[in-house]
């Protein structure tokens, strides 16, 4: 209704009133304070359209005055951030309220011509961070080119829609565990060019001070691992499952800053699942890709895992059967999970017959806590996003 009200006002004004002048009001016929209040209530998914109205509106949507007013009033929106294969490090963002996707400004990386993989991405204090990772050549042109692991950290501010480089990690790393616990970013393990057997080093980032500090090292190096914030602690889950001599999980207790081995309460390796997400109320959800994409949730009280249903296959035009999706993204927002993009193998009957890879831009959503699962499709990802998901994260923006 507010969006319609604002656009109705614009249609009623002569175009001359929308031209940039020294004393031009934000919205002709309204006091500037009321106009600011109206525009601040509009979901960010519509900003791309509204910024085309005039230069003053564009400057307003990117100003500190506008972002501070929205944050102060609590009129902030939720975001999904996604990076797909072949997009040239071009992140896109989704506004669930407006059901709109739009590209973000490009990050000014140190190696923009190379593909960025093995990074972690998290949201903390209304900011989106892309942390570490490895730069490598795209495609097989330089198959023996040595990849470069970085400690760079980039921060996107959704209020002013800008990236900036913040304090770098003390240790370059990729494929590492990363989680936000109590407003700080914890990282541990991973790999770099000088650690063939994995890293034991860990550190923590405080976004308020823009500083990294060392943590006690892990009990043993972890080569490929993921992080999980659970019960106020930082869990490091490895993908080495089935090796008796290898502990599969360790946990960092923030209260006494110690690492502890824990029983195998997370029985799924990185090779088997796409990630672990924490829903509202502390419920934990994962998608296990083991002969079928099974959605599981963990009972907070007794620690048991429960099968909730399957990620449905997709049907392509002019193809006789539904196809299983792989390499898709998985992210939670409040009590819903989003399954993003991915690829399918389609059999081509022409000629001698062969498989072809089809990249998807579809977005499917369900509430894993409500049975039976009811899937719905939202707006597909915008160009150039499609195919394998390299990174995704959700942000529930809160008033400051």
Annotated domain spans of the chain = 2-72, 95-102+272-388, 107-269
Instruction: Over range 149-178, report the average pLDDT.
Output: 94
Q: Is the pLDDT of residue 271 over 80?
A: no
pLDDT, residue 98, reads 82
Q: Which CATH number describes the domain made up of 95-102+272-388?
A: 2.120.10.80
pLDDT, residue 21, reads 41
pLDDT, residue 13, reads 43
pLDDT tier, 188 (very low <50, low <70, confident <90, very high otherwise): very high
> Distance between alpha carbon 327 and the CA centroid of its chain, in Å?
15
Instruction: Over range 312-336, report the average pLDDT.
Output: 89
pLDDT, residue 375, reads 96
pLDDT tier, 111 (very low <50, low <70, confident <90, very high otherwise): confident
Average pLDDT, the chain: 81
pLDDT in tens, 246-260: 556 799 999 999 999
pLDDT, residue 356, reads 87
Instruction: Over range 4-21, report the average pLDDT.
Output: 43
Instruction: Over range 204-221, report the average pLDDT.
Output: 96
- Are 130 and 121 in contact, with CB atoms under 8 Å apart? yes
pLDDT tier, 380 (very low <50, low <70, confident <90, very high otherwise): very high
pLDDT in tens, 23-75: 578 888 778 778 777 777 776 667 767 777 888 887 877 776 776 677 666 55
Question: Which of 2.120.10.80, 3.30.1330.30, 3.20.20.100, 2.60.40.1260 would CATH assign to domain 107-269?
Answer: 2.120.10.80
Instruction: Over range 356-377, report the average pLDDT.
Output: 94
């Amino acid at each position: 209704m507010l969006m319609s009200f604002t656009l109705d006002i614009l249609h009623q004004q002569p175009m001359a009133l929308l031209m940039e002048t020294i004393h031009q009001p934000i919205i002709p016929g309204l006091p500037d304070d009321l106009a600011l209040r109206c525009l601040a209530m509009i979901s960010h998914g519509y900003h791309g359209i509204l910024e085309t109205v005039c230069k003053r509106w564009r400057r307003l949507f990117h100003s500190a005055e506008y972002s501070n007013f929205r944050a102060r009033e609590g009129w902030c929106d939720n975001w999904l951030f996604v990076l797909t294969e072949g997009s040239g490090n071009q992140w896109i963002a989704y506004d669930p309220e407006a059901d709109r996707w739009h590209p973000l400004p490009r990050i000014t990386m140190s190696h923009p011509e190379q593909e960025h993989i093995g990074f972690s991405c998290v949201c903390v204090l209304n900011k989106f961070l892309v942390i570490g990772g490895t730069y490598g050549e795209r495609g097989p042109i330089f198959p023996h080119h040595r990849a470069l692991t970085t400690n760079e950290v980039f921060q996107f501010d959704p209020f002013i829609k800008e990236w900036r480089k913040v304090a770098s990690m003390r240790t370059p790393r990729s494929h590492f565990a990363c989680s936000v616990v109590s407003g700080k970013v914890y990282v541990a393990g991973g790999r770099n060019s000088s650690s063939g057997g994995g890293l034991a080093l860990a550190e923590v980032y405080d976004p308020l001070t823009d500083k990294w500090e060392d943590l006690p090292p892990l009990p043993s190096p972890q080569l490929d691992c993921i992080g999980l914030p659970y019960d106020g602690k930082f869990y490091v889950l490895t993908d080495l499952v089935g090796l008796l001599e290898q502990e599969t999980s360790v946990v960092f207790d923030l209260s006494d800053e110690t690492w502890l081995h824990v029983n195998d309460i997370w029985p799924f390796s990185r090779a088997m699942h796409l990630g672990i997400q924490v829903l509202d109320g502390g419920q934990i959800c994962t998608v296990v890709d083991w002969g079928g994409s099974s959605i599981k949730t963990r009972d907070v009280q007794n620690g048991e895992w429960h099968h909730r249903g399957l990620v449905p296959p997709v049907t392509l035009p002019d193809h006789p059967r539904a196809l299983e999706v792989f390499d898709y993204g998985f992210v939670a927002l409040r009590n819903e999970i989003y399954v993003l993009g991915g690829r399918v193998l389609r059999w081509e009957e022409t000629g001698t017959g062969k498989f072809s890879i089809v990249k998807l831009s579809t977005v499917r959503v369900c509430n894993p806590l409500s049975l039976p699962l009811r899937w719905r499709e939202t707006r597909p990802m915008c160009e150039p996003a499609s195919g394998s998901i390299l990174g995704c994260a959700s942000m529930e923006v809160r008033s400051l």
